[in-house]
Amino acid sequence: MSDRPAFAEILASVAEVEGWMTDDQARRLHDRAIELGPGARIVEIGSFRGRSLIVLAHSAADGVEIVSIDPHAGNDRGPQEIVADQDRGDDDHTVYRTNLEAAGVLERIVHIRKMSDAALDDVDGEIDLLYIDGAHRFGPARADIVDWGARVGGGGTMLIHDSFSSIGVTLALLTSMFASGEWRYLGRAGSMAEYCREHLGAGERLLNAVRQVSQLPWFVRNVVIKVLLTARLFPLTRLLGHRSRDWPY
């Protein structure tokens, strides 16, 4: 929409906001959010300190509802931070609010400070754009995809972070999306996979499964990189084209 900031400005606005979102992934969020008109609804599961949420909020037109679901309980926060830690979660919550306020978007966000499975009744009606980046373990990741994905209307979008990168998320995709006749796989920006809600015929379904299966070599590469990073074998990760010491995402 013409009254929204340009993408470069939006990217600059989150340069100092901690989180896990590459520039390409920000572009994907931006491109899907600017397509929505007033009355549409965006739901983000897993907002952490607001990095991706600010991109969504700056990109979406006025009148688009933006819901952020994050318990800020310090659990399933980043790589190897699985166990809850309330001090860590409270700190995230404070920084999240400060970051949203500094970006000028605090007032337009509806924050539900709950685990995603406990928040299903807090959102009424269909979702147009669902971004899943909450707990990455198999059980909760699959529940987010299946239970929250069912709330996305026909033609709507689901973006899933850490696809073909996290073992839990990838197993969740394998068991819920690969053979699905309701979700078309459209590609990915790094580990951010994009799906469109639409009915697929038998032939399309097979092709859709093949397109997702073809991402598995990239998944194996990412798992190998994570093992090498954990073992501090950094030169070997560079042989696989990974220069950072962060886990691939």
Ligand X SMILES: C[S@@+](CC[C@H](N)C(=O)[O-])C[C@H]1O[C@@H](n2cnc3c(N)ncnc32)[C@H](O)[C@@H]1O
Interface residues toward ligand X, by CB under 6 A: 19-21, 45-48, 51-52, 69-72, 75-78, 92, 115-116, 133-135, 140
Q: Residue 124 CB, nearest distance to ligand X (Å)? A: 18
174 burial class (0-12, 13-18, 19+ CB within 10 angstroms)? middle
- Token pair of 246 as six digits: 């962060």
Report the amino acid identity of residue 145. I
Residue whose C-beta lies closest to ligand X:
19
Cβ proximity to ligand X, 148 vs 185, nearer residue: 148
Cβ proximity to ligand X, 89 vs 208, nearer residue: 89
Q: Residue 115 CB, nearest distance to ligand X (Å)? A: 4
Q: Residue 134 CB, nearest distance to ligand X (Å)? A: 3
Q: What is the arrangement of strands in the sheet containing 109-112, beginning at the earlier edge strand?
A: 109-112, 65-69, 41-45, 127-132, 152-160, 192-197, 183-189
Cβ proximity to ligand X, 34 vs 209, nearer residue: 34
Cβ proximity to ligand X, 116 vs 212, nearer residue: 116
Cβ proximity to ligand X, 77 vs 188, nearer residue: 77
**Dihedral sign for Cα atoms in the order 2, 4, 5, 7:** negative
What 3-state DSSP class applies to 82? Answer: coil
Nearest to 226 by CA among 170, 165, 138: 165
Q: Residue 42 CB, nearest distance to ligand X (Å)? A: 13
Q: Residue 245 CB, nearest distance to ligand X (Å)? A: 17
